[in-house]
């Protein structure tokens, strides 16, 4: 087995079954986390945090990992990746080697082959289940002290949630993935709140809308799990924009930690950091704030309000929902106010329409594009759907074509879309 074959194997069962499934069905009908549960739980045992939410899961997971490395050998599982599949599996910031990746795929393959062989054609094993098992197997072999696992779109039917975890994190919940998770914020919160199962020492939640917070509180109370809430138990204060990123103070309980710096733009990143620090202060025996500040200042997380060019001024963000646009617009007003040529590379099942409408006042032109990743659906009808809403747009067939048109237009450029889009932009000499 070579690396490409190993990557293909992870998706093999899912791809086989997808052709027999209703694309519009809910996760409850399509996903089968029980198919990976036994192996994932067998590989669990190391203290662990599972991070869910609608936006910022990757940032928070990366921040937690970064802070914990001040004292612990830390495994980090995230998805998707930018340029290399192995980026999804890291220990103390270093990705798994190609050889170890192949070896661990081969190690878990017998378990999943046995399961897949007995499944009807319309049921497949989730790639997230295989990835989670692979990551935990790798972390176990390398004897990590603590693991941080970024969840998928939900929690109730998410294989990552099969991992035994002592801590849970629920980042901000927005109206997204409605096809799979539910049509209301409360339904989506109900799914993601399953990160709470009664076996946690504590769960930490970001700032939430009232109805969402009520759902989370009720589940925490039901399972008697302590809940720490942004704005009540911890918070970011005195948030300032600088040329290098965000500078802020963090209050946790009665303690205040001053002048925290992260090289990421957007006030929401200060809130993400406060969330990460709250968990880490409970986990670490020696919360060395000077060491932690140094580590956070060196944080690298591409595609998060990232300025990738000064001429033309170009900003790149992995934004796929309307709610995130409010944070983006606030950041743009600090960075460079005015109109932008906006490139959107958002699949049909994401909130491309909501993003386009939210950015209308900041857009001199909207350019639609698509990524080459076959797992993302682009049916070619986005332009027509925008026109029905009174918005004009230009359609392109590739990221390179979209970038060319944006540069020809002159002026600043804003690029929004999936992590796959971020990766393709990076490959276009950005």
Instruction: Say what angle helices 399-409 and 419-427 make with each other, to 10 degrees.
Output: 70
DSSP string, 281-340: HHH-SS--HHHHHHHHHT---TTSSEEEEETTEEEEE---SHHHHHHHHHHHHHH--S-E
What does the pLDDT read at residue 96? 98
What does the pLDDT read at residue 430? 63
> CB neighbours (10 Å) of residue 178?
14
Handedness of CA 207, 81, 305, 252 (dihedral sign): positive
Instruction: Say what angle helices 322-335 and 267-283 make with each other, to 10 degrees.
Output: 110
User: Taking residues 323-340, what's their average pLDDT?
Assistant: 91
Q: Are residues 100 and 3 in contact, defined by beta-carbon separation less than 8 angstroms?
A: no
Residue ranges of domains in the chain, CATH in brackets: 26-81+142-297 (3.40.1190.10), 306-427 (3.90.190.20)
pLDDT in tens, 124-183: 999 999 999 999 999 999 999 999 999 998 999 999 999 999 999 999 998 877 778 888
What does the pLDDT read at residue 67? 98
> CB neighbours (10 Å) of residue 421?
29
pLDDT in tens, 245-256: 999 999 999 999
Given a cut of 90, whether residue 296 has pLDDT beyond it is yes
Q: Are residues 273 and 295 in contact, defined by beta-carbon separation less than 8 angstroms?
A: no
Percentage above 90 pLDDT, the chain: 82
Res. 417 pLDDT band, cuts 50 70 90: very high
Percentage above 70 pLDDT, the chain: 100
User: Taking residues 207-223, what's their average pLDDT?
Assistant: 97
Cα–Cα nearest to 239, from 261, 254, 263: 261
> CB neighbours (10 Å) of residue 175?
19
Q: Are residues 331 and 238 in contact, defined by beta-carbon separation less than 8 angstroms?
A: no
DSSP string, 250-289: EEETTEEEEEEEES--SHHHHHHHHHHHHHHHHH-SS--H
DSSP 8-state symbol, 66: H
Question: Which of 54-68, 92-106, 334-348, 368-382 is predicted with the least confidence, judged by mean pLDDT?
Answer: 368-382
pLDDT in tens, 23-52: 788 888 889 999 999 999 999 999 999 999
Cα–Cα nearest to 33, from 191, 222, 268: 191
Q: State the DSSP H helix or E strand holding residue 426, giving kind and residue range, or none if neither.
A: helix 419-427
Q: Are residues 47 and 145 in contact, defined by beta-carbon separation less than 8 angstroms?
A: yes
Given a cut of 80, whether residue 375 has pLDDT beyond it is no
Q: How many residues does the chain have?
A: 430
Handedness of CA 376, 382, 383, 386 (dihedral sign): negative
Cα–Cα dist 3/371, whole Å: 22
pTM of the model: 0.90
User: How are the residues of the chain apportioned to helix, strand and coil, as percentages rounded to the nearest 5?
Assistant: 45, 20, 35
Res. 92 pLDDT band, cuts 50 70 90: very high
User: Taking residues 182-196, what's their average pLDDT?
Assistant: 95
User: Phi, psi (5° rounding) for residue 166?
Assistant: -80, -20
Cα–Cα dist 339/414, whole Å: 9
* DSSP-assigned beta bridge partners for residue 247: 240, 261
Res. 416 pLDDT band, cuts 50 70 90: very high
Taking every pair of C-alpha atoms in the chain, what is the biggest distance, in angstroms? 58
Cα–Cα dist 327/316, whole Å: 13
* DSSP-assigned beta bridge partners for residue 170: 52, 205
Q: Are residues 416 and 359 in contact, defined by beta-carbon separation less than 8 angstroms?
A: yes
What does the pLDDT read at residue 22? 86
DSSP string, 170-213: E----S--HHHH-SSHHHHHHHHGGG--S--SEEEE----HHHH
Burial string for 57-68 (b: 16+ CB within 10 Å, else e) reads bbbbbbbbbbbb
Given a cut of 90, whether residue 324 has pLDDT beyond it is no
Q: How far is CA 391 from CA 31, 74, 325, 364, 382, in A?
A: 36, 47, 17, 11, 11
Q: Are residues 425 and 327 in contact, defined by beta-carbon separation less than 8 angstroms?
A: no
């Amino acid at each position: 087995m070579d690396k490409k074959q190993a990557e293909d194997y992870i998706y093999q069962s899912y791809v086989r079954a997808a052709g027999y499934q209703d694309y519009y069905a809910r996760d409850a009908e399509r996903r089968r986390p029980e198919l990976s549960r036994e192996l994932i739980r067998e590989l669990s045992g190391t203290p662990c945090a599972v991070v869910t939410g609608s936006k910022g899961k990757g940032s928070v997971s990366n921040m937690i990992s970064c802070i914990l490395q001040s004292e612990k050998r830390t495994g980090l599982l995230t998805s998707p990746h930018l340029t290399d599949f192995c980026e999804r599996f890291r220990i103390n910031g270093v990705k798994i080697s190609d050889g170890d990746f192949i070896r661990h795929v081969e190690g878990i393959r017998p378990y999943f082959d046995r399961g897949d062989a007995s499944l009807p054609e319309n049921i497949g094993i989730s790639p997230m289940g295989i990835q989670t098992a692979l990551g935990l197997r790798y972390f176990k072999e390398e004897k990590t002290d603590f693991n941080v696992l970024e969840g998928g779109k939900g929690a109730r039917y998410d294989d990552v949630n099969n991992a035994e975890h002592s801590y849970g994190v629920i980042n901000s919940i927005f109206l997204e993935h409605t096809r799979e998770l539910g049509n209301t914020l409360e339904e989506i919160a109900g799914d993601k709140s399953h990160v709470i199962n009664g076996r946690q020492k504590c769960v930490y939640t970001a700032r939430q809308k009232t109805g969402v917070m009520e759902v989370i509180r009720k589940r925490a109370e039901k399972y008697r799990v302590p809940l720490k809430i942004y704005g009540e138990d911890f918070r970011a204060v005195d948030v300032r924009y600088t040329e290098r990123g965000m500078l802020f103070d963090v209050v946790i309980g009665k303690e205040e930690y001053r002048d925290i710096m992260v090289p990421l733009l957007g006030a929401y990143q200060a809130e993400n950091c406060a969330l990460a620090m709250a968990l880490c202060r409970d986990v670490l025996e020696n919360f060395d704030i000077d060491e932690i500040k140094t580590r956070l200042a060196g944080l690298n997380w591409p595609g998060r309000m990232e300025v990738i060019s000064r001429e033309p001024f170009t900003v790149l963000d992995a934004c796929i929902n309307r709610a995130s646009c409010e944070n983006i617009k606030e950041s743009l007003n600090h960075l460079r106010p005015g109109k932008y040529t906006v490139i959107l590379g958002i699949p049909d099942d994401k909130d491309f329409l909501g993003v386009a409408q939210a950015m209308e006042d900041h857009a001199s032109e909207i350019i639609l594009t698509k990524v080459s990743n076959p797992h993302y659906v682009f049916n070619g009808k986005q332009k027509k759907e925008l026109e029905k809403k009174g918005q004009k747009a230009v359609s392109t067939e590739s990221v390179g074509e979209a970038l060319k048109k944006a540069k020809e237009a002159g002026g600043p450029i804003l690029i929004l879309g999936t992590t796959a889009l971020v990766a393709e932009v990076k490959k276009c000499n950005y």
